[in-house]
Structure 1
């Protein structure tokens, strides 16, 4: 008598991210949308003009050139580091595990700071838009909470869904600025078109330091291209192309748009106009050269620009959370991927809960959504991401010294070292002009600046703890 064993079915593999979903354009949309070009131009560029004068456009070009130099070594290393950890994986393999673990914590704080603070901007921008269009005043908290739910849903859906949404929103927000540019160019500006913004006498002035600080901040998030490596088509080509496209587009578009704003008032009048009404500068310009309807549309598109930025950062944060869960540093549950949408939905839910807690906490404390929630949460996030760029640039030559490769010395040594020096100077500019970003007291500014080094040091301590208590996690980290 024979006995037949029952058939057993091997468990299916857990779902992973949807590979091959994103092309160069898709990744570029994520990166450029995170920078929120319309919001940066209408909300921040007038302050740069007021502080730096008509030479402000050159500051954005200089910042773009610096980050292009950084991208040379960064994208070269991306061909050799293929995991999903982006910054911290690069830093781990170049500077060692303790620095990499410190960078991982800094990345989570940096990206969360950049996103969560913007919910305050969403609330205040929507308030301004509703008041401008309808004369009504609305509370900001319900708007921010609705935004949290909307962004959660966008991150919950598939990555290609997010790319399509961002593509539409980005075309809309850049389109309104192109419309302004067309009106100014066709009518010849306020007093004719001038290239004086790029003359050395107008660029090499004391206020340029402040312009550069604002300009570097305007590029924050451009490096997130590598976060999408696992979902990219032909990542060895797609990721570098998207990085260079993002840097080139932002640098040229920012400089051109600021120059257009200057032409709309004239070299002699724009600094006074920007100083007296920075929030209204772009709205006045587009009303004059296009029409009042375009100013109303710009109000609406600023809100959609903020939403696009939030969705882009949310997707980046989710993938960092997924990578750290795979490393064993964050709870394993954060590494779950939705079986149908192939999104890191648990990490997205956790990030949304954190965002809601911060937003409600600031509201309960009676804080202003712009002056406190946005500026106080965004600023340490911005400094943290710039510090990560610096560490990643520094990691490149150390990484290539340790491996056998065929990359040229310009890509592996010269460009990364130059980028390290330039980024160090950029961080110094931001830190020494921190009051321009926050409008806060010296004590608050000191605390905001201290967040990044404190988090990094905490990461170093965590690395030592992991080395002692969980050596298997420590040894595999960032590999």
Structure 2
């Protein structure tokens, strides 16, 4: 009797481990030092409130999102939830959009790795390095981190995350101890400073700063007590990012003073945080911040790499992607072939931009990341819509707050957020209207291709189509938390049918 093929290492990750993956993907130090000055330029001293508002919106989304995670186990996350609520064609379209979105986020960040490393080497040692070899070396390092066991990745990310958040807290502590430029105050949260036209731009920047938080459910099969761990990690990640971002941006505003900070951000956005930490902590801390920005980017890349590998594994198990991508390493229990495929694809894109003479930050990062970010937000919107649709078709013990009120509210808020980001997309790309139109169009185009693939599968490979995001009870999945079988998504006569009689 042959042994079954190895699977992922179950019962390995706790709440803190999963939270490290999610928060690391957001790259807090890079987001603060690299992007927060733009938020201050746009929204003035009310910028910190924008991060709180974005965090509150995503916390509301998490209410329905985590409720559904207890009833729909597995590693498919977004696409599994969307399939259960909105049907297989929409679910397969979402699956393709998720893969492309995560790949876009990860691949673009290699441009940031190259540019950040080049800037750090020049600032600290006067070296002028080419960015392309740096990014390719980063690809290999990230591949190795993903190849190793998931607990190795969790420990590594834990160390890197503590270091990057620690340097930001050191900056904030220096400002608090010294009392800031003009004394400490809470004017940043006064309605008169928050309800200004520039807040629209701040919200667009703030939502982008949370990218990746939703990947908690991807690690469900490797989590200890997944029903509780995934929920706790999701709320912990949103709460930490929202409050931490708002606190750090507020501290930097205090460092320069309400009257001077906007001008300082406009004059030298890239140097705003380095100037503040040099003044309130010391030049050595600014040098350390330069180094930790590079490790922050590496941590973000490793977190995205692991998430993409598990999405690839789930889709290979569904039969949508080649079965080989679902192979798990017998020793490290990692989806190693999915990692190889992702690394090769990333190398092709990075080499393409490099050989074309593109700028690693302004083009590789911003142009590739922007459709990925908007695609992931579109998936959150579809998931929020799918939650009440799903819960109207099954017996469950969840209350209306979790299954109707919170997801509907989140859907409205996310739709507004997507509109704000799309309407101010030039803030992220710095590109021409033609390039921005192309980048925005990629999201619906990829989704439409996925729906077309679903319709083709239904005709040519009906067995694969029927298994896609199949009910875990009917398929014998031991992770199922709900004993009530789901109705087949394709047999629903309307998007949100009434519950079947119990």
Instruction: Please report the TM-score for the alignment, with normalisation by the length of structure 1.
Output: 0.98
**Which runs of structure 2 are paired with 1:13-412 in the superposition (5 Å)?**
13-412=4-403
TM-superposed deviation, 1:245: 0.1
Structure 2 partner of 1:453: 444
User: For the residues of structure 2 that align with 1:182 and 1:417, how far apart are their CA atoms?
Assistant: 40
* Ranges in structure 2 where 5+ consecutive residues have no aligned partner: 471-502
Which residue matches 1:7?
none
**CA–CA distance in structure 2, aligned partners of residues 150 and 470 of structure 1:** 38
**Structure 1 vs Structure 2 CA RMSD:** 0.4
Once residues 406 and 224 of structure 1 are traced to their aligned partners in structure 2, the CA distance between those partners, rounded to angstroms, is: 25
Alignment partner, residue 3 of structure 1: none
Instruction: Count matched residues.
Output: 470
Q: Offset at 1:194? A: 1.2
Give CA deviations for 1:48-82 in whole Å, capped at 9, x if unaligned.
Answer: 00111000000000000000000000000000000
Work out the CA distance in 2 between the residues paired with 1:181 and 1:45. Answer: 14
Q: Distance in 2 between matches of 1:405 and 1:248?
A: 27
- Alpha-carbon deviation of 1:246? 0.1
Match of 2:486 in 1: none
Deviations 1:28-66 (A, max 9, x none): 000000000000000000010011100000000000000
Mapped to 1, the partners of 2:59 and 2:71 lie a distance apart of: 19
Kindly provide the CA deviation profile for residues 210-263 of structure 1, in whole angstroms up to 9, marking residues without a partner as x: 000000000011000000000000000000000000000000000000000100
Cα deviation, 1:294-318, whole Å, max 9, x if unaligned, reads 0000000000000000000000000
Give per-residue Cα distances to partners, 1:401-435, cap 9 Å, x unaligned.
01011110000000000000000000001000000
Q: CA deviation at 1:324?
A: 0.3
Q: Measure the CA separation in 2 of the matches of 1:23 and 1:46.
A: 34
For residues 466 and 182 of structure 1, what CA distance do their matches in structure 2 show? Answer: 57
Distance in 1 of aligned mates of 2:94 and 2:313: 16
1 CA distance for matches of 2:397 and 2:366? Answer: 44
Identify which of 440, 447, 465 aligns with 2:456.
465
**TM superposition shift of 1:456:** 0.4
Match in the other structure for 2:500: none
* TM-fit CA distance, 1:478: 1.1
Question: In structure 2, the residue corresponding to 1:44 is in which secondary structure?
Answer: helix
Runs of 4+, deviation exceeding 6 Å: none
- In the aligned structure 1, how far is the partner of 2:262 from the partner of 2:37? 8
Match in the other structure for 1:422: 413
* CA apart distance, 1:447: 0.4
Separation in 1 of the partners of 2:220 and 2:74?
8
Residue 392 of structure 2 aligns to a residue in which SS? Answer: helix
Encode CA deviations 1:174-223: one digit per residue, 9 max, x unaligned. 00000001100000001100110000000000000000000000001100
Q: How far apart, CA to CA, are the structure 2 residues paired with 1:355 and 1:459?
A: 21
SS at structure 1 position matched to 2:231: helix
Match for residue 468 of structure 2 among 466, 471, 477:
477
- Mapped to 2, the partners of 1:393 and 1:351 lie a distance apart of 28
Q: Distance in 2 between matches of 1:336 and 1:308?
A: 24
Question: 3-state DSSP class of the match of 1:440?
Answer: coil
Query: 1:151 offset after TM fit, Å?
Result: 0.2
SS of aligned partner of 2:113 = helix
Quick one: distance in 2 between partners of 1:332 and 1:170?
34
CA–CA separation in structure 2 for the residues paired with 1:264 and 1:57: 14
SS at 1:117's partner residue?
A: helix
Q: Tell me the SS of whatever aligns to 1:296.
A: helix
Deviation, 1:364, is 1.0
Give the superposition deviation at 1:83.
1.4
Once the two structures are TM-superposed, the CA of residue 167 in structure 1 deviates from its matched residue by 0.0
**Normalized against structure 2, the TM-score is what?**
0.93
- Gap regions ≥5 residues in structure 1: 1-9
**In 2, Cα distance between the equivalents of 1:44 and 1:194?**
23
Query: What is the aligned partner in structure 2 of residue 4 from structure 1?
Result: none
2: CA distance, partners of 1:84 / 1:273: 45
Counterparts of 2:182 and 2:81 in 1: how far apart (Å)? 50
Q: Return the alpha-carbon distance in structure 2 between the equivalents of residues 377 and 406 of structure 1.
A: 42
